[in-house]
Amino acid sequence: MTRNFSRRSMMVAGAATGLAGAAAALTRPVVAVAQRGGGTAFTHVTVIDPASGRVLPDVTVLVLGDTIADVGRHVRLDGATEVDLRGRFVIPGLADMHTHALAEGIDTGLYIANGVTTVREMAGSPLARDWRTRIEAGTLLGPRYTVGSRMIDGAPSIWDPKWLDVVQVDDPASARAAVREEIARGADFIKVYSRVPKDAYRALAAEAHRHDVPFVGHCPDVVSLEEVADLGQASVEHLFWTPFETSTKEAWIRAEIQRIRLGLGDYAGWFAALHPLEWTAAHTYSPVKARHLHSKLARRRVRQVPTLAMHRGLDFARTVDTNHPRDKYLPASALASQELAKQEFYLKNRKPSDDARWAAMFDHRLRTVHRLHEAGVPLMTGTDTGTLAVWPGFSVHDELELFVAAGIPPMAALHAATAEPAAFLGTRTGRIAPNHAADLVILDADPLHDIRNTQKLSGVVVRGRHIDAEERTRLLADVEHTAATTPEETVATGCPCHTG
């Protein structure tokens, strides 16, 4: 049985993963012999493989070590431990492609408990680097981490260096030097922020290419998305600037952006200056300009990470639930940091009478994501952990729900959380197929029927290790206990909001 994404999204999936051979491998009668014996066989399960768009009922997934050995209806177990998953569904491990480390004993456990087995850290956190080292050594249970550079912003940065370890550049020479320094520090990619000048951005792009290191992040205020695509930025985060080039008033908006003057640490000023321009762009939308821009983004395969969960928290900041049951998994100091950001950044100077306009802006963001998908622009799930009403692990499921609310079919939404991140990172994750990483999520209900069923987890497999329902419950209980007893000084310093 095949569940179609849409014509365009299937074309994108095929380009990213080479579907013809993979689909054949999944559907042929397979006789697999566990050469070394042992392993785990997950039997009588329905496999949902978003990379191919295939749904395979009543099959066995054979795992040897940290790898999927085979998938099919005729798999010889030969000493494997059998786990009967009759009536259940398996999808690949999920990815959060926009995260910020919060606290020891919190993030890693919540990711695994929620089936998030791949994480991209967007703020160069030493904490995330330490977790990755311990995870790779087998001394900490956690997801696969990719860790970027510190944030590279213009000078002055709109972030106060007391809050965040930010690198400030103001010309091509300082931008090139920043790239070299971050690579020397071990960054997997370079992260760009909002206020980088155009000439510095071009130099940063050239230097990153010279060292064959990807650069990702914000679209700098003074740079167009078209130029970002032409210069090879690998992914663009958030939806703040996406409407500008689809507006009939783009020239006026660009002129207004050039007039913005901000001091060091004036994030609230940046936020206040940008929103009226977003509003203008949303209400002067041009389908012709949108088709031109989206076509280029699709051709260049510039991944878009909309972070809709984050935008929902910001756009509904006054009414966001500040007493959510998930809050028990976060330390009090992390929740206090979110509340501070809410008051000092998002609601500062925002009148209650403006709330309807903010809500309407979120509707425009949903429409934008749908248009990007329809144009074949590759999307990836990311949440921006640390912002309002965003929780490690849990909010990937929120993001999937918002993708579907935007009009994206469930299979395509799952593709954005599995196969697309794997193609972007160049890893063996994101597929349920032989010779791929044994990162799986076991579900009690069909997510293609209702995407909210991704939240009905009965187990997780990470690097071949099966976390069953009982162990998952204990894992969540351990995180809750850690959150309740974590001293304030052990929480990662600084608000990570929009730092990637």
Residue 98: name the closest of 332, 483, 378, 392 by CA.
392
CA–centroid distance for 298 within its chain: 18
Buried-exposed string 54-78: b where 16+ CB fall within 10 A, e elsewhere: bbbeebbbbbbeebbbbbbeebebe
> For the range 237-241, what are the long-range contacts, defined as Cβ-Cβ under 8 Å and sequence gap of 24 or more?
237/98, 237/122, 237/305, 237/307, 237/382, 237/384, 237/498, 237/500, 238/305, 238/306, 238/307, 238/310, 238/311, 238/384, 238/498, 239/306, 239/307, 239/308, 239/311, 239/365, 239/368, 239/369, 240/274, 240/278
Q: Say how far apart CA 379 and CA 420 lie, in whole Å.
A: 7
Q: Say how far apart CA 415 and CA 413 lie, in whole Å.
A: 5
What are the residue ranges spanned by the domains of the chain? 7-92+432-484
Topology at the third CATH level for domain 7-92+432-484: Urease, subunit C; domain 1 (2.30.40)
Contact 396, 30 (CB under 8 A): no
Report pLDDT for 30: 30
Specify the 3-state DSSP secondary structure of 406: coil
User: Hey, what are 437's tokens?
Assistant: 């990483």
Query: 162 phi and psi, to 5 degrees?
Result: -70, -25
Report pLDDT for 340: 87
User: Hey, what are 368's tokens?
Assistant: 């934008």
Return the DSSP state at 326: G
Its pTM stands at 0.91
Q: Say how far apart CA 98 and CA 130 lie, in whole Å.
A: 18
Q: Say how far apart CA 66 and CA 288 lie, in whole Å.
A: 48
The segments of the chain whose pLDDT lies below 50 read: 1-36, 492-500
User: Hey, what are 250's tokens?
Assistant: 């783009």
Q: Say how far apart CA 108 and CA 111 lie, in whole Å.
A: 5
Report pLDDT for 322: 76
Beta pairing partners, 215:
190
User: Hey, what are 301's tokens?
Assistant: 């395969």
For the segment 299-314, what is each residue's pLDDT rounded down to a tens digit?
Answer: 999 999 999 999 999 9
User: Hey, what are 327's tokens?
Assistant: 């809050």
Residue 282: CB partners within 8 Å, gap ≥ 6? 243, 247, 360, 361, 364
Return the DSSP state at 487: -
